[in-house]
């Protein structure tokens, strides 16, 4: 095993008791339990010595083990709706270090509700983190067809108030791109993370991934959206596989 791989651990937080989508972390998603997509991406990346699922739920633990993750213990705390997920990841990292008597150089948090993030995304994010010698790195995506610079709030009568009134007067092509964080891939130096207790530690930086890979599933609308995306991807893959050699450029995702 590569020396760097031995120094990395992936933590997949997956508590039970989801309210917006009951059983969300193990609900069926395109033929597999939701969490299986993240476990497989982590394992297939070849980047980790441990792929740890942190859960308080025995059924989630059983499913996670079936798909190849390490679940040597259940989460003993931080399983409520209010505790930041980074706190649960910190506790899981401390439990892992004590259980296996190991230390880690890098901790990577992979949310189970981001099933479209794949092994290539993980490898590229870790490469950026290490090449740029970062301490904390948070995945993000660039806003696409919508223009958040023109965002408004509405009062009870439907009257708008511009959030960025100066930007609303400009053409969209003259405005800088905006980015939104996603829970897909969060990375930190383990010692700094243990001290800070958050991936938003001092000097944290963002790393962009595709908007498709960045999709977070929090409710049934998100689930339907992600399901449509993965079905379209499968159709495109099958279509490209039947194109004559050299004709792949004639097929457009648009």
| pLDDT mean over 111-126 | 97
Max avg pLDDT among 32-46, 77-91, 210-224: 32-46
- What confidence category does residue 128 fall into, taking pLDDT thresholds of 50, 70 and 90? very high
Q: What is the pTM of this model?
A: 0.86
Average pLDDT over residues 68-83: 80
pLDDT at 6 over 80: no
pLDDT of residue 237: 54
Q: Specify the pLDDT at position 78.
A: 63
**Do 150 and 216 lie in a common domain?**
no
> Cα separation of 70 and 62, whole Å?
10
pLDDT at 152: 94
| C-beta separation of 48 from 9 below 8 A | yes
- Can you give the residue range of the structural domain that contains 245? 3-140+179-250
Report the alpha-carbon distance of residue 246 to residue 254 in Å, rounded.
Answer: 19
From 69-73, 79-83, 131-135, 240-244, the region with the lowest mean pLDDT: 240-244
- Report which listed range, 6-20, 176-190, 221-235, is most confident: 176-190
SS3 sequence, 128-145?
HHHHCCCCEEEEEEECCC
CA dist 61 and 207 (Å) reads: 30
Residues 213 and 240 placed together within one structural domain of the fold: yes
**The pLDDT of residue 245:** 53
Q: How many structural domains is the chain composed of?
A: 2
- 132 and 87 share a domain? yes
For position 4, what pLDDT does the model report?
66
Residue ending a domain, choose from 154, 177, 200: 177
Q: What is the CATH number of the domain that holds 66?
A: 3.90.550.10
* 132 and 207 assigned to the same domain: yes
- Check whether residue 185 and residue 108 sit in a common domain: yes
Distance CA 73, CA 235 (A): 40
Asked if 21 and 220 count as a contact pair (C-beta separation under 8 A), the reply is: yes
Angstrom distances, CA of residue 3 to CA of 38, 105, 120 = 23, 11, 20
**Residue 72, phi then psi, degrees to nearest 5:** -80, -10
pLDDT recorded at residue 250: 38
Confidence band of 199 (pLDDT split at 50, 70, 90):
very high
Please tell me whether residues 196 and 224 are part of one structural domain. yes
Q: Is the pLDDT of residue 48 over 70?
A: yes
Query: By mean pLDDT, which of 40-49, 60-69, 126-135, 226-235 is the weakest?
Result: 226-235
Residues 153 and 38 in one domain: no
Q: Are residues 32 and 158 located together in one domain of the fold?
A: no
For residue 76, pLDDT beyond 90: no
Report residue 220's pLDDT band, with 50, 70 and 90 as the boundaries: very high
> What share of the chain has pLDDT > 70, as a percent?
87
146: exposed, middle or buried (Cβ count in 10 Å: 0-12, 13-18, 19+): exposed
């Amino acid at each position: 095993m590569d020396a760097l791989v031995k120094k990395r651990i992936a933590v997949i937080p997956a508590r039970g008791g989801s309210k917006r989508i009951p059983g969300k972390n193990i609900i069926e998603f395109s033929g597999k339990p939701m969490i299986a997509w993240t476990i497989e991406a982590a394992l297939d990346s070849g980047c980790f010595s441990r792929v740890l699922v942190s859960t308080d739920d025995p059924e989630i633990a059983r499913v996670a083990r079936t798909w190849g993750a390490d679940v040597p213990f259940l989460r003993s705390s931080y399983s409520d709706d209010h505790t930041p997920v980074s706190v649960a990841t910190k506790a899981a990292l401390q439990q892992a270090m004590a259980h296996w008597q190991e230390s880690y150089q890098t901790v990577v948090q992979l949310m189970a509700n981001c099933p479209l993030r794949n092994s290539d995304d993980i490898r590229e994010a870790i490469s950026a983190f290490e090449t740029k010698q970062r301490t904390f790195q948070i995945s993000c995506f660039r806003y696409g067809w919508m223009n958040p610079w023109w965002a408004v709030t509405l009062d009870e009568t439907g009257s708008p108030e511009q959030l960025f009134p100066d930007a609303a007067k400009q053409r969209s092509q003259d405005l800088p791109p905006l980015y939104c964080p996603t829970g897909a891939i969060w990375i930190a130096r383990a010692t700094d993370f243990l001290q800070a207790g958050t991936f938003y530690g001092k000097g944290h930086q963002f790393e962009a991934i595709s908007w498709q890979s960045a999709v977070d599933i929090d409710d049934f609308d998100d689930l339907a959206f992600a399901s449509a995306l993965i079905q379209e991807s499968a159709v495109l893959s099958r279509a490209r596989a039947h194109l004559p050699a050299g004709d792949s450029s004639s097929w457009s995702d648009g």
